[in-house]
């Protein structure tokens, strides 16, 4: 389908959402926290890969803070130097952190030493910044094998909603696909290294928030569904 088609769909979705739903309050004004969220509440875990990138990630954090929304960031280890303050801000503002390897490489088929160079090195650098090692793992490209499961040392988190924001950086298309793919218990994948993804992410949040969705971290999503995340297990969603 053409970009023009998706732009028209995206505009139509936005107009309908705005016309049929009263303006959404910031999320924190509606929900005091995940612990008190009703069982019937629609939940989506908002996740971002490949950062941090100071310009785009900071703008995204500003937008999420305005909306009272928490997300999970899967960080690339080689991007951490000189951006420690951005990571500390994520931690301070209630976002969850994860590992996305050191150089954004495939983890499948790696020997232990090569796996450690990608995952354990990133884990050590993140631990040095935030003071703990409670991180999730998202393998680049969503590729994993038994070796990844055995060596992960933490839960492995993939996704169920993917508007492929990296493909053409078309905000209207990304918004349209993100909204139409939304489902209670889903995990939304975006990337905080593109300006277009930041714009799309905040618009998706506004539209789906108006439709009654609560955005949360991976930890919050699975806790709300009574699921304990286990090291080495792979998770795509927490559908009811």
Q: Give the Cα separation of 232 and 225 in Å (integer).
A: 19
Q: Which long-range contacts (CB under 8 A, 24 or more apart) does 78-81 make?
A: 78/102, 78/103, 79/50, 79/51, 79/52, 79/53, 80/52, 80/122, 80/125, 80/126, 80/129
Contact 148, 101 (CB under 8 A): no
The tokens for 215 are: 């955005």
- Catalytic residue, candidates 191, 192, 199, 209: 191
Which region holds residue 164: left if phi is over 0, alpha if psi is between -120 and 50, else beta?
left
Beta-strand relationship, 186-191 and 96-99: unpaired
Ramachandran sector of residue 169 (left: φ over 0; alpha: ψ -120 to 50; beta: rest): left
Q: What does the alpha-carbon distance between residue 177 and residue 226 come to, in Å, rounded to a whole number?
A: 29
- The reply to whether 49 belongs to the active site is yes
Two structure tokens written together for 134: 């409670």
Clarify whether 132 is annotated catalytic: no
Output the six-digit token pair for 166: 């990296």
HSE toward the beta carbon, residue 60, CA cutoff 13 A: 34
Catalytic residue ranges: 49, 191
């Amino acid at each position: 389908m053409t970009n023009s088609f998706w732009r028209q769909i995206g505009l139509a979705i936005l107009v309908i959402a705005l016309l049929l739903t009263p303006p959404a309050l910031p999320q924190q004004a509606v929900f005091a926290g995940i612990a008190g969220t009703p069982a019937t509440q629609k939940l989506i875990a908002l996740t971002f890969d490949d950062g941090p990138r100071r310009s785009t990630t900071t703008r995204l954090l500003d937008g999420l803070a305005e909306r009272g929304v928490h997300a999970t960031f899967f960080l690339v280890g080689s991007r951490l130097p000189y951006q420690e303050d951005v990571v500390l801000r994520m931690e301070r503002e209630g976002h969850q952190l994860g590992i996305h390897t050191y150089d954004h490489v495939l983890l499948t088929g790696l020997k232990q030493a090569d796996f450690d160079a990608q995952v354990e090195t990133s884990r050590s650098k993140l631990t040095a910044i935030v003071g703990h090692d409670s991180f999730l793992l998202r393998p680049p490209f969503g590729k994993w094998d038994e070796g990844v499961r055995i060596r992960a040392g933490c839960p492995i988190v993939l996704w169920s909603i993917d508007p492929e924001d990296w493909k053409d950086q078309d905000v209207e298309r990304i918004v349209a696909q993100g909204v139409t793919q939304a489902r209670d218990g889903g995990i939304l994948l975006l990337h905080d290294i593109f300006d277009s993804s930041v714009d799309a992410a905040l618009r998706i949040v506004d539209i789906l928030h108006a439709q009654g969705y609560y955005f949360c971290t991976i930890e919050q999503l699975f806790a709300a569904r009574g699921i304990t995340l286990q090291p080495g297990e792979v998770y795509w969603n927490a559908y009811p």
